C-alpha cells in the first residue's frame, strides 16, 4: 500500500451483551485501506467481519452492541469520537455502503429514482429536487441501468436483484466517497449477475479511486477483486497480506484450511480436506488461540491453549497470528498438513 | 420522500440492523429461533412487564385458589358494624350490611378465576379449532369460517350478555357460556394467520415428504408452533372478558349467589361518598387482574418475537 | 453399522461409468406452472423437463435462482402437484398417487432441504425429528430408539444429543439432522435441494464429504441440486443445466465441465470466481442483463435475450434438447459448440 491509509481501523474491540453472557464479537481488529485499493475481508458467518465495519460507522445496534475500545481513523479523524450528527455527515458522503440484500435496503413504497435522488440530496441540501432527479438518472446510467430515465420511475419490486444492487451502488457513489464498504454485495445474486456487479465495482473504483472494503465469505470473489486480504476468525484477524501471497503462501492454518477445502478438479473422487469442528461460541471462546480445537498444526502442543498468538510479520507486508506459522512455510499449499478428512 | 427525515435514507439503517443481527453468533440467534418452555420463562423474567405481569396474575390465581384459607370471614356473613372504614379487624372495611370486604375481595378472586378459566378453555377450544381448520383446509371452508369469525368479532358482546341474562336470569354458568361462545374470534384469526405461515415452512414440507397425514402434521408440526402466539392473545381476550364480567356485576346482572368484584363494586354505588373503601378495593382488584393479564400477554408476545 | 441398516450393493459409483440399470426416478415432460393472477399468464417454473436418475448415481442439477430447480425437486417428490407430464418411480407413475400409495413411494424417495434452520421443527427434539419418518411408517415400535441412535452415528452426530432442540445445534449439525431424517427409512433415492449452500465454507466441505461417504456406503442415488458448480463437479457423475424451467444441457461430468456446448453453460462456468488470483485476467463471458419475466418467456429460445451467439433464427425456433454431434451429451442450442473448452471461449 502506498502513502497514508484513507481508512484505518486500530485495535477495535466490540462486544454484545446477550442473555447468555458477553459475545466477544471483535477483539483488537486492525486493518488499513488506501486510496484506490481494494481490501478483501474474508471469514465465516459470525467471525466479526461485518460487525467491525458496522461498529466503525456507528451503525451497531446499542444495546446489545458495545464498542469497548480502539479507534477508526478516516484520514486521521477518529470516527468513534464523533457525535451522531457529525458521523451522519460522514456516512453516505465520505464513506458509503452497499449491503447484501438490495431488496431490504430499498424502500418498497418509493420509486428507485426518488431514493437515489434522496441519497443525492442527503448531503447536498442546496440541490433542487429537479437537479437531484437529474443526477439520480445520471448515476443510474453510470452503473449500467438500461433506459435509466424510465426505469427510475418504477418501484424496487419491478427491479431484478442485480439491478437493485446497481441502484444501491449508484446511491453509494453519489458523493464520490473516499471509502466504499461492500458487505457481501453479491452473495444474494446469481453467478452470472455477480460477475456484472463485480465488474461494475471495479469500474467505479477506477473512476473515483475510492478505497474499497469488500466483505465476503467467498474466496473466489476475493481472488478476483482484492489487492490485499484480511482473514478473520472468531472475532480476530488471523492473517493479512497481499492477495497473491495469501492464496499462494498462507501462513495461518485456518487460511490454509479454507483454501484447501474448496472443491477442485484434482480432488474428484476423494474426500475434501475439511476443517473439522465448527467455529466457536464467542460467549465462551477457547483459551489461547481460538482456532486450536480445529487446528491441524497444533498436534497437542500446549502453547496454543495457553497463549493467544499475536499478528506477527512473516514476510513482506504479510502477517499471521500463529505460534507455528514458520512450519507452514515449508509445506506446499496443495497439501495442508494432517488435514482431518472427516469427522 | 418528505416523510422520511434525516440526512440519510433510513432504509440503510434498517438494513444495518438486519445484517448486524445475522452476524450475532449462535448464542443470540438460537434464543431468537426455537425456544423451550423454560427459556421462555427465563426470558419473561428478564423484562419488567413480564415480572409484574407474572406477579399480578399469579397473586390473583393464588388468592383465588386459597380463598377459603386466606379469607378471615364468610363473605356473606355479617361480622361487624356496617360501613366501618378499614381497621385492624377489617383491613378493607365493611359494607352496608357489616360484611367483611377483604373476604369479599378474596372470594371475588375465586369467581374471577372460575370465569377466566372456563371462558379461557372455551375460547381456546373454539378459536384453535376454527383457526386451524379454516387455514389448513383453505378454499370455501376458510371463506365460510372466516365470515363466521368476522360476525362474532363485530358482535356487541356486552349487550348480548345483557339480553341473554335478561331472558334467562343471572347465573355464572350462563355468563361463562355466553362470553366463551362469543369471545373466540380474535384468537381464531391469530391462530389462522400463524398456521397459514407455518404450513408453508420447510419443516412442514419435510413431514409431508415423509408421508405424514394431515392430522399428524397439524398436531405435531403446526399447533405446537402456533399455540404460543395464541396464548399471548388469550391473555388479552381474558382481560376483556373480566372487564365485561365486572361491568355486568356492576350494573346488577351478576350471579347474586357468588361474590364477584363487579358485584362488590355495584354494592358500593350508593355509598360512593361515605364509604370510599367499598368501591376502591374491588376496583383495585379488577385493575390488578386486568393489568396483570395484559402485561403478561404483552411480555409473552415480546418474548416470542411476534408482533401484533 | 449394524445389520439393521439395509446395505445395498449396487456397483459403487466409478469414474465416468454411471451404473446402468432400471431407471429409479424419471421425469417425463414434467411441467409445473404457478398461476399469477387472473389476467396474467402463469409462471412456467418447470416447463417440459425429462430426466432419468439411475440407481446409485449422483445426478447434479445446476442453474441460477429462479431457473426452476427447486420447483422441479419438489414436483419430483410430489410436494408440488405437476401441471403436466409424469413422474415415474421404478417405472410406476406416481404423478397421481393419493397419500396412502404415495407414502409407500416416499419410504424410498426422500428429500433434504436447503435451509437447516427452517427445515427442522423448533419445538421437537433432534431425536424426535429423526424418528418422525419411522413413526409415520409405524416402524418406531420395533427398535426405534436404537435406529435413531444408529442414524445419529451415521451422520456424525453424538447420539447423546438426541434430546436437544434444533437451536442448540450449529448450522452444519442441523443439516446432519436433516440428512439423518431423510435416511431414516433407508431410501433408495435422495433429492438434495441445495443441501450445502447455506453453510459456511469450512462446514460445507464436511457435509459434502458426509454425503459422498453415505452414497458410497448405502448405494443411494442422489439428485443433487446446487448453484455452486464446483461442488456439483465434486459430488456428481452426471450434470444437468437448467435455465428458465428447461434443461439446456445434460451429460457426464467431464463432458459438461471440460466441453460445455450450450452458451449458457459456457457463461455459467466462466462466471464463477476462481479462487486463484493468478487467473484473474482470464477471458470471461459476462452475460447481459438478468432473467426475463418467467411469465412471459421470450419466443423461440429462452436464453436468446442474454445470449452472445443469438441469431434471428433463435427467436423463431425453440431448440430441442438433442445430441447434435453424437458426442454423448445433448444440448438445447441451435448453434451448440461441438468442442470448445470453457476457459478459452471468447464472447462473440
Instruction: Note whether A199 contacts C286, CB cutoff 8 Å.
Output: yes
Establish if A233 belongs to a structural domain: no
What is d(CA A4, CA C45) in angstroms, rounded to the nearest whole number?
Answer: 53
A205 & A258 share domain: no
A55 & A139 share domain: yes
Q: Residue B103 in contact with residue B74, Cβ under 8 Å?
A: yes
A64 & A122 share domain: yes
Tell whether C156 is within 8 A of chain A (Cβ). Answer: yes
Number of independent structural domains in chain A: 2
Kindly list the residues from chain C whose CB atom is less than 8 angstroms away from the CB atom of residue B205: 74, 79, 111, 113, 119
Task: Band the pLDDT of B191: cuts 50, 70, 90.
Answer: very high
Give the cell for residue A270. Answer: 476423494
End-to-end Cα distance, chain A: 41
Task: Work out the angle at residue C186's Cα, subtended by the Cα atoms of residues C183 and C188, and round it to the nearest 5 degrees.
Answer: 100
Give the residues across from A312 on adjacent strands.
Answer: A320
- Tens-place pLDDT, residues B55-88: 999 999 999 999 888 888 888 888 888 888 888 8
Q: Where are the domains of chain C?
A: 25-236, 256-344
> DSSP label at C322?
B
B188 membership: H or E segment, kind and range: helix B185-198
**Is residue B127 pLDDT above 90, yes or no?**
yes
Q: How far is A208 from chain B (nearest CA, A)?
A: 21
Give the cell for residue B251. Answer: 350494573
**Is residue B4 pLDDT above 60, yes or no?**
no
Closest-CA residue of chain C to A267 = C234
A185 & A305 share domain: no
**Is residue B18 pLDDT above 90, yes or no?**
no
The arithmetic mean of pLDDT across residues C329-340, rounded, is 77
Instruction: Give me the percent of chain B exceeding a pLDDT of 70.
Output: 86
A62-66, A143-147, A279-283, C16-20: range with lowest mean pLDDT: C16-20
Give chain A's mean pLDDT: 86
Give chain B's mean pLDDT: 81
Give the model's pLDDT for residue C41.
83
Kindly compute the dihedral angle of the four CA atoms of residues A126, A128, A131, A135, in this order, to the nearest 10 degrees: 50
Closest-CA residue of chain A to B16 = A59
Task: Band the pLDDT of C241: cuts 50, 70, 90.
Answer: very high
CATH number for B67: 1.10.3720.10
Give the model's pLDDT for residue C199.
85
Residue from the list B201, B211, B221 with its beta carbon closest to the beta carbon of C103: B211
Packing angle, helices C144-154 and C126-136, rounded to 10: 120
Instruction: Note whether A194 contacts C271, CB cutoff 8 Å.
Output: yes
Establish if A334 belongs to a structural domain: no
What is d(CA C76, CA B226) in angstroms, rounded to the nearest whole number?
Answer: 29
**Is residue C309 pLDDT above 60, yes or no?**
yes
**Is residue C90 pLDDT above 60, yes or no?**
yes
Is the pLDDT higher at A142 or at C326?
A142
- Tens-place pLDDT, residues C215-227: 999 999 999 998 8
What is d(CA A89, CA A71) in angstroms, rounded to the nearest whole number?
Answer: 18
A170 & A80 share domain: yes
Domain range holding A100?
A: 7-226
What is d(CA C231, CA C322) in angstroms, rounded to the nearest whole number?
Answer: 26
> Nearest-CA neighbor of C12 among C221, C238, C219, C239?
C219
What is d(CA B280, CA C171) in angstroms, rounded to the nearest whole number?
Answer: 56
A266-280, B70-84, C152-166, C323-337: range with lowest mean pLDDT: C323-337
Give the model's pLDDT for residue B12.
31
Instruction: Note whether C173 contacts A275, CB cutoff 8 Å.
Output: no
Is the pLDDT higher at B37 or at C232?
C232
Q: How far is B10 from chain A (nearest CA, A)?
A: 9
**Is residue A119 pLDDT above 90, yes or no?**
no
CATH for C25-236 (2.40.160.40, 3.40.50.300, 3.30.420.40, 3.40.50.720): 3.40.50.300
Domain range holding B291?
A: 42-82+91-201+228-304
Residue from the list A258, A271, A275 with its beta carbon closest to the beta carbon of C212: A271
Residue A75 region by backbone torsions, left for phi larger than 0, else alpha for psi between -120 and 50, else beta: left
Sign of CA dihedral B92, B96, B100, B106: negative
The domain boundary, picked from A193, A226, A259, lies at A226
B9-13, B248-252, C274-278, C304-308: range with lowest mean pLDDT: B9-13
Give the model's pLDDT for residue C5.
43
B169-173, C28-32, C87-91: range with lowest mean pLDDT: B169-173
**Is residue C3 pLDDT above 50, yes or no?**
no
Give the model's pLDDT for residue C149.
92
Establish if B21 belongs to a structural domain: no
Give the model's pLDDT for residue A343.
32
Give the model's pLDDT for residue A42.
94
Give the model's pLDDT for residue B38.
67
Task: Band the pLDDT of A102: cuts 50, 70, 90.
Answer: low
Kindly list the residues from chain B whose CB atom is less than 8 angstroms away from the CB atom of residue C114: 202
Phi, psi values for residue C164, rounded to 5°: -85, 160
Instruction: Note whether B206 contacts C122, CB cutoff 8 Å.
Output: no
A19 & A149 share domain: yes
Residue from the list A160, A275, A276 with its beta carbon closest to the beta carbon of C291: A160
Give the model's pLDDT for residue C284.
78
The arithmetic mean of pLDDT across residues A69-78, rounded, is 90
ipTM of the complex: 0.82
A201 membership: H or E segment, kind and range: helix A191-208
Number of independent structural domains in chain B: 1
> Nearest-CA neighbor of B191 among B224, B227, B221, B215?
B227
What is d(CA B175, CA B172) in angstroms, rounded to the nearest whole number?
Answer: 5
Establish if A59 belongs to a structural domain: yes
CATH number for A69: 3.40.50.300
The domain boundary, picked from A211, A226, A241, lies at A226
Give the model's pLDDT for residue B16.
33
**Is residue B114 pLDDT above 60, yes or no?**
yes
**Residues A236-251 as b or e (16 or more Cβ within 10 Å = b):** bbbbbbbbbbbbebbb
- Tens-place pLDDT, residues C251-301: 998 888 888 889 999 988 888 888 888 887 777 787 877 778 777 888 889
Instruction: Note whether C165 contacts B34, CB cutoff 8 Å.
Output: yes
A163-177, A217-231, B35-49, B58-72: range with lowest mean pLDDT: B35-49
Give the model's pLDDT for residue B62.
93
Pairing of strands A38-42, A312-315: unpaired
3-state secondary structure of A319: strand
Q: Which of C89, C122, C169, C177 to mutate to test the interface with B (most CBs of B within 10 A)?
A: C122
What is d(CA B249, CA B170) in angstroms, rounded to the nearest whole number?
Answer: 10
Give the model's pLDDT for residue B19.
34
**Residues A268-305 as b or e (16 or more Cβ within 10 Å = b):** eeebbbbbbbbbbbbbebbebbbbbebbbbbeeeeebe
Is the pLDDT higher at A133 or at B2?
A133
Q: Which chains touch A (3 or more CB pairs under 8 A)?
A: B, C
Tell whether B26 is within 8 A of chain C (Cβ). Answer: yes
What is d(CA B273, CA A172) in angstroms, rounded to the nearest whole number?
Answer: 69
Contacts (Cβ under 8 Å, ≥6 apart) of B46: A19
Give the model's pLDDT for residue C59.
94
Packing angle, helices B37-44 and B276-304, rounded to 10: 130
- Report cis status (omega within 30 of 0) of the bond before B136: no
**What predicted TM-score, i.e. pTM, was given to this entire model?**
0.80
Closest-CA residue of chain C to B214 = C99
Task: Work out the angle at residue B79's Cα, subtended by the Cα atoms of residues B290 and B261, and round it to the nearest 5 degrees.
Answer: 15
Give the model's pLDDT for residue B36.
54
- Which of 233-292 (A) contact C at CB < 8 A? 243-244, 247-248, 257-259, 261-265, 267-269, 271-276, 278-279
Establish if A95 belongs to a structural domain: yes
A260 & A299 share domain: yes
A123-132, B270-279, C26-35: range with lowest mean pLDDT: A123-132
What is d(CA C209, CA A276) in angstroms, rounded to the nearest whole number?
Answer: 11
Kindly list the residues from chain C whose CB atom is less than 8 angstroms away from the CB atom of residue A333: none
**Is residue A97 pLDDT above 80, yes or no?**
yes
Instruction: Give me the percent of chain C exceeding a pLDDT of 90.
Output: 33
Residue from the list C77, C136, C181 with its beta carbon closest to the beta carbon of B216: C136
Task: Work out the angle at residue C298's Cα, subtended by the Cα atoms of residues C292 and C299, and round it to the nearest 5 degrees.
Answer: 175
Task: Work out the angle at residue C67's Cα, subtended by the Cα atoms of residues C64 and C68, and round it to the nearest 5 degrees.
Answer: 130
Closest-CA residue of chain C to B228 = C123
Instruction: Give me the percent of chain C exceeding a pLDDT of 70.
Output: 91
Is the pLDDT higher at A165 or at C20?
A165
A102-106, B8-12, C3-7: range with lowest mean pLDDT: B8-12
Give the model's pLDDT for residue C347.
41
Kindly list the residues from chain B whose CB atom is less than 8 angstroms away from the CB atom of residue A89: 7
Q: Residue A185 in contact with residue A100, Cβ under 8 Å?
A: yes
> DSSP label at C14?
B
Give the model's pLDDT for residue C12.
43
Instruction: Give me the percent of chain B exceeding a pLDDT of 90.
Output: 26
Residue from the list B33, B201, B212 with its beta carbon closest to the beta carbon of C136: B212
- Report cis status (omega within 30 of 0) of the bond before A63: yes
What is d(CA A173, CA A156) in angstroms, rounded to the nearest whole number?
Answer: 19
Q: How far is A81 from chain C (nearest CA, A)?
A: 35
Give the cell for residue C187. Answer: 431410501
Give chain C's mean pLDDT: 84
A89 & A161 share domain: yes
Amino acid at each position: 500500500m502506498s502513502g497514508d491509509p484513507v481508512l484505518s481501523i486500530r485495535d477495535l474491540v466490540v462486544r454484545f451483551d446477550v442473555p447468555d453472557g458477553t459475545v466477544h464479537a471483535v477483539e483488537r481488529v486492525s486493518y488499513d485501506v488506501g486510496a484506490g485499493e481494494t481490501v478483501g475481508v474474508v471469514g465465516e458467518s459470525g467471525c466479526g467481519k461485518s460487525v467491525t465495519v458496522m461498529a466503525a460507522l456507528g451503525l451497531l445496534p446499542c444495546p446489545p452492541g458495545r464498542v469497548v475500545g480502539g479507534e477508526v481513523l478516516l484520514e486521521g479523524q477518529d470516527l468513534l469520537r464523533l457525535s451522531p450528527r457529525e458521523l451522519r455527515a460522514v456516512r453516505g458522503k465520505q464513506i458509503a455502503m452497499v449491503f447484501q440484500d438490495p431488496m431490504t435496503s430499498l424502500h418498497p413504497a418509493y420509486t428507485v429514482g426518488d431514493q437515489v435522488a434522496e441519497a443525492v440530496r442527503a448531503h447536498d441540501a442546496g440541490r433542487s429536487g429537479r437537479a437531484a432527479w437529474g443526477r439520480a438518472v445520471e448515476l443510474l446510467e453510470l452503473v449500467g441501468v438500461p433506459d435509466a430515465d424510465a426505469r427510475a420511475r418504477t418501484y424496487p419490486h419491478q427491479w431484478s436483484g442485480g439491478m437493485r444492487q446497481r441502484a444501491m451502488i449508484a446511491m453509494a457513489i453519489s458523493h464520490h466517497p473516499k471509502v466504499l464498504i461492500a458487505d457481501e454485495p453479491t452473495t444474494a445474486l446469481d453467478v452470472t449477475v455477480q460477475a456484472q456487479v463485480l465488474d461494475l465495482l471495479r469500474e467505479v473504483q477506477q473512476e473515483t479511486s475510492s478505497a474499497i472494503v469488500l466483505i465476503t465469505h467467498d474466496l473466489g470473489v476475493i481472488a478476483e477483486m482484492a489487492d490485499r486480504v484480511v482473514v478473520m476468525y472468531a472475532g480476530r484477524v488471523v492473517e493479512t497480506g497481499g492477495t497473491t501471497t495469501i492464496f499462494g503462501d498462507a501462513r495461518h492454518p485456518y487460511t490454509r484450511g479454507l483454501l484447501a477445502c474448496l472443491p477442485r478438479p484434482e480432488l474428484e473422487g476423494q474426500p475434501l480436506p475439511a476443517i473439522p469442528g465448527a467455529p466457536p461460541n464467542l460467549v465462551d471462546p477457547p483459551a489461547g488461540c481460538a482456532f486450536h480445537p480445529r487446528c491441524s498444526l497444533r498436534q497437542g502442543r500446549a502453547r496454543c491453549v495457553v497463549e493467544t498468538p499475536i499478528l506477527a510479520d512473516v514476510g513482506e507486508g504479510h502477517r499471521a497470528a500463529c505460534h507455528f506459522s514458520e512450519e507452514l512455510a515449508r509445506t506446499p499449499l496443495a497439501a495442508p498438513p494432517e488435514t482431518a478428512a472427516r469427522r | 420522500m418528505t416523510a422520511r427525515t434525516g440526512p440519510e435514507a433510513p432504509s440503510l439503517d434498517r438494513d444495518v440492523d438486519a445484517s448486524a443481527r445475522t452476524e450475532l453468533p449462535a448464542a443470540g440467534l438460537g434464543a431468537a429461533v426455537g425456544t423451550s418452555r423454560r427459556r421462555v420463562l427465563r426470558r419473561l423474567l428478564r423484562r419488567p412487564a413480564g415480572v409484574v405481569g407474572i406477579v399480578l396474575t399469579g397473586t390473583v390465581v393464588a388468592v383465588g385458589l386459597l380463598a377459603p384459607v386466606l379469607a378471615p370471614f364468610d363473605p356473606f356473613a355479617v361480622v361487624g358494624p356496617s360501613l366501618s372504614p378499614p381497621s385492624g379487624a377489617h383491613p378493607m372495611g365493611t359494607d352496608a350490611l357489616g360484611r367483611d370486604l377483604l373476604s369479599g375481595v378474596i372470594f371475588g378472586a375465586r369467581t374471577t378465576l372460575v370465569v377466566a378459566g372456563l371462558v379461557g378453555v372455551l375460547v381456546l377450544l373454539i378459536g384453535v379449532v376454527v383457526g386451524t381448520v379454516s387455514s389448513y383446509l383453505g378454499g370455501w371452508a376458510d371463506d365460510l369460517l372466516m365470515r363466521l369469525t368476522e360476525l362474532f368479532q363485530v358482535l356487541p358482546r356486552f349487550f348480548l350478555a345483557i339480553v341473554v341474562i335478561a331472558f334467562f336470569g343471572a347465573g355464572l354458568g350462563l355468563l361463562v357460556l355466553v362470553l366463551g361462545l362469543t369471545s373466540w374470534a380474535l384468537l381464531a384469526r391469530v391462530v389462522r394467520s400463524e398456521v397459514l405461515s407455518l404450513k408453508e415452512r420447510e419443516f412442514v414440507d419435510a413431514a409431508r415428504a415423509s408421508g405424514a397425514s394431515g392430522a399428524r402434521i397439524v398436531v405435531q408440526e403446526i399447533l405446537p408452533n402456533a399455540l404460543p402466539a395464541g396464548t399471548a392473545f388469550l391473555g388479552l381476550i381474558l382481560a376483556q372478558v373480566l372487564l365485561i364480567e365486572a361491568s355486568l356485576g356492576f350494573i346488577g346482572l351478576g350471579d347474586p349467589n357468588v361474590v364477584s368484584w363487579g358485584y362488590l363494586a355495584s354494592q358500593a354505588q350508593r355509598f360512593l361518598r361515605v364509604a370510599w373503601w367499598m368501591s376502591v378495593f374491588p376496583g383495585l382488584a379488577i385493575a390488578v387482574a386486568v393489568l396483570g393479564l395484559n402485561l403478561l400477554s404483552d411480555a409473552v408476545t415480546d418474548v416470542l418475537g411476534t408482533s401484533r | 453399522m449394524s445389520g439393521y441398516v439395509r446395505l445395498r450393493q449396487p456397483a459403487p459409483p466409478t469414474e465416468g461409468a454411471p451404473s446402468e440399470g432400471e431407471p429409479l426416478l424419471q421425469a417425463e415432460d414434467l411441467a409445473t406452472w404457478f398461476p399469477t393472477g387472473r389476467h396474467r399468464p402463469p409462471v412456467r417454473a418447470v416447463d417440459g423437463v425429462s430426466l432419468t436418475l439411475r440407481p446409485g448415481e449422483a445426478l447434479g442439477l445446476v442453474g441460477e435462482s429462479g431457473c426452476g430447480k427447486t420447483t422441479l425437486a419438489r414436483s419430483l417428490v410430489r410436494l408440488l402437484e405437476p401441471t403436466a407430464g409424469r413422474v415415474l418411480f421404478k417405472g410406476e407413475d406416481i404423478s397421481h398417487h393419493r397419500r396412502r400409495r404415495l407414502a409407500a413411494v416416499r419410504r424410498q424417495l426422500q428429500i433434504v432441504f436447503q435451509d437447516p434452520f427452517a427445515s427442522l421443527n423448533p419445538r421437537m427434539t433432534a431425536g424426535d425429528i429423526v424418528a418422525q419418518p419411522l413413526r409415520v411408517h409405524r416402524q418406531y415400535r420395533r427398535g426405534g430408539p436404537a435406529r435413531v441412535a444408529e442414524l445419529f452415528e451415521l451422520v456424525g452426530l453424538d447420539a447423546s444429543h438426541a434430546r436437544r432442540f434444533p437451536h442448540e445445534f450449529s448450522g452444519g449439525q442441523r443439516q446432519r439432522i436433516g440428512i439423518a431424517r431423510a435416511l431414516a427409512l433407508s431410501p433408495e433415492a435422495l433429492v438434495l435441494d441445495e443441501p450445502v449452500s447455506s453453510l459456511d465454507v469450512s462446514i460445507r466441505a464436511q457435509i459434502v464429504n458426509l454425503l459422498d461417504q453415505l452414497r458410497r456406503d448405502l448405494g443411494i442415488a442422489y439428485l443433487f441440486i446446487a448453484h455452486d458448480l464446483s461442488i456439483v463437479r465434486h459430488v456428481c457423475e452426471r450434470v444437468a443445466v437448467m435455465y428458465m424451467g428447461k434443461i439446456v444441457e445434460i451429460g457426464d461430468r467431464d463432458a459438461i465441465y471440460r466441453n460445455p456446448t450450450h452458451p449458457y453453460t459456457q457463461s455459467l462456468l466462466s462466471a464463477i470466481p476462481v479462487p486463484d488470483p493468478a487467473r484473474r485476467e482470464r477471458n470471461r463471458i459476462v452475460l447481459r442483463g438478468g432473467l426475463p419475466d418467467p411469465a412471459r418467456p421470450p419466443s423461440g429460445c429462452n436464453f436468446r435475450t442474454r445470449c452472445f451467439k443469438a441469431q434471428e433464427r433463435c427467436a423463431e425456433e425453440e431448440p430441442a434438447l438433442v445430441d447434435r454431434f453424437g458426442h454423448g451429451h445433448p444440448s438445447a442450442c441451435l448453434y451448440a459448440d461441438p468442442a470448445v473448452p470453457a476457459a478459452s471461449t471468447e464472447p462473440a
